[in-house]
Amino acid sequence: MAELMLLGDWKMDVPPFPCFFGLKDFQGLNTHDLDKENSEVRQKLDGIDIRCAALSSYSLVKAFLLEHALGSRFGIYRSAIEKLLLWCLLVVEKPIIQLDEQDIRAFMDFCLCPPDDWVAKQPEKRLRRASNKRTSKVFVVNAFWRPFRTGPVREEVSGARISGYASLAVELAVINSFYLFLYAEDLIDINPAGSLHRSKHYSGREAIHNGAKSFSISDWNLFVEAAESLAINDDEFERKLFLLMSIYQALRI
């Protein structure tokens, strides 16, 4: 736990930034080059230490996401693998293709108690208008976006934020899928997430449905995370999410 607290207190010179945006924008990227990448993202990647192989790691993640560029899953896959990519580039400064099992375990611990400057206090869109005028059609990367965000309900352990185990199970499942993708492409010999994923260390802690007609806290947090991902590019869904959250808060009073 002491190690987790050190991670939580650690400050980075470069704050995390969104690497990928909406599904429509993502589908417009070139498969085999970086010619159509967001200029701000490209600039940030170029500025990262060469030891991280930032562009190569980014390209591998992009290739993986292209396999899952469907409205039903893109947001969840993007959120999960993007966290790992940013952790590689900004925390351990290691190419994503070189991670081993110990690294994956360290990353999952990081997700359990992310540092404060990786957590948004409220949902933030990945892009924002360049000016305060609603008619502005110029968008820039939102500097307030963070990979993690506080949910409607958070457990507290010694003051550190704790991600729900249901969310961690999804995170690990996506990471395992990513490394299986690299393995199938003959880019790695061993899946570093395989052993931990097979152990069901996180999924085993999820609540088993016993017929109760209500969400557990972990279920609700996972639902909100997925719903917020869908709401980012859908104003109508964003309004529905607002109503759901309002009802939830009212029922808790």
Please report, as a single letter, which amino acid is at residue 181.
F
User: How far is C-alpha 103 from the chain's CA centre?
Assistant: 17
Cα 65 to chain centroid distance, Å, stands at 13
The per-residue pLDDT for range 45-60, each reduced to its tens digit, is 999 999 999 999 999 9
> Which pLDDT belongs to residue 97?
97
Closest CA to 194 of 207, 183, 206, 204: 183
Those residues whose C-beta lies under 8 Å from the C-beta of residue 138, and which sit 6 or more positions away, are 129, 130, 131
pLDDT < 70 stretches in the chain: 1-12, 151-164, 203-222, 225-226, 228-239, 241-242, 245-246, 248-253
* Separation CA 124–CA 231 (nearest Å): 11
Q: What confidence score (pLDDT) does residue 59 get?
A: 97
The predicted structure's pLDDT at residue 2: 39
Cα 59 to chain centroid distance, Å, stands at 17
pLDDT of residue 131: 78
> Model-level pTM?
0.74
Q: Is 111 in contact with 160 (CB distance < 8 Å)?
A: no
84: nearest Cα among 66, 68, 106: 106
